[in-house]
Structure 1
């Protein structure tokens, strides 16, 4: 996968230059997310952010469906993608992430997350979203992000 670093709308993100997610962005400074994904994001025409990745065998559990931990890791990624504008490049951490599993995700599915900031404007940002697999609901989530200053 060819990549270039860009600061266009995503802070310090990497733009994918080839493959299925050409033109999409991802963060490459989180070792766990990088090993789990990579997960990709892009700004939609309406200004919202869409996150996505392709389900692979390595994402599956023993029963052959996507591991719940993988879905929640993706939800955490999507939380920050959805809140990109509200974050304004600030460092932040997840204070809370709650989810409800709605359906199985098979190998090969296009996994997407969409959502909205329900409250922002300060150091605490509230987000809700929905993850789908090939358009079918897989996980709903809500989260709270807390901005912080570098020490």
Structure 2
């Protein structure tokens, strides 16, 4: 995956993976960076992220959390591609349009082929909205033919 830096707007200076059409165009766009507290992933809720009740769709929150697994653990996957092989989450609170969400977390264990990561998605006011954990299976990057 190719990291691309956002050049303008609210997330100027943040990274994204523009070659992932689902995360960047359909479910996102989602962003990440490393700040003084460590890795963080974020996005601004748009109308397309809402369900019929006017709150963020659970599938969107889980998609963002899956993105966050890789953002939080991106240092562990240098030279590898990765796939999520296990994912768990619990919904804690609802999120409305225009709210900015952030995910922070920890790498619990980084082995040769598996990384175990956990995190929390929080709203702008710091309240937790989703608890998540997952396992990334690392695979060697393949050279193009």
Regarding TM over 0.5, the answer is yes
- Deviation readout 1:13-71 (Å, 9 max, x if unpaired): 1111110001001001111112211100001124x211000011110000010000000
Q: For 1:37, which of 11, 14, 28 is the aligned residue?
A: 28
- Equivalences, count: 140
2:39 is aligned with 1:49: yes
- Distance, in Å, in 2 between the alignment partners of 1:138 and 1:16 is 26
Q: For the Cα contact (< 8 Å) 2:79–2:140, is it kept in 1?
A: no
Runs of 5+ consecutive residues of structure 2 not aligned to the other structure: none
Q: Which whole-Å CA distance do the structure 1 matches of 2:96 and 2:128 have between them?
A: 12
- 1:133 positional shift: 1.4
Once the two structures are TM-superposed, the CA of residue 150 in structure 1 deviates from its matched residue by 4.2
**What is the TM-score normalised by the length of structure 2?**
0.92
Following superposition, which runs of at least 4 residues in structure 1 exceed 3 angstroms of deviation?
A: none
Q: Secondary structure at the match of 1:49?
A: strand
RMSD in angstroms over aligned alpha carbons? 1.2
Cross-structure match for 2:138: 147
**Deviation at residue 136 of structure 1 after TM alignment:** 1.4
Equivalent in the alignment of 1:66: 56
SS in 2 for 1:104: coil
Which residues in structure 2 correspond to 1:1-151 (within 5 Å)? 12-34=2-24, 35-46=26-37, 48-134=38-124, 135-150=126-141
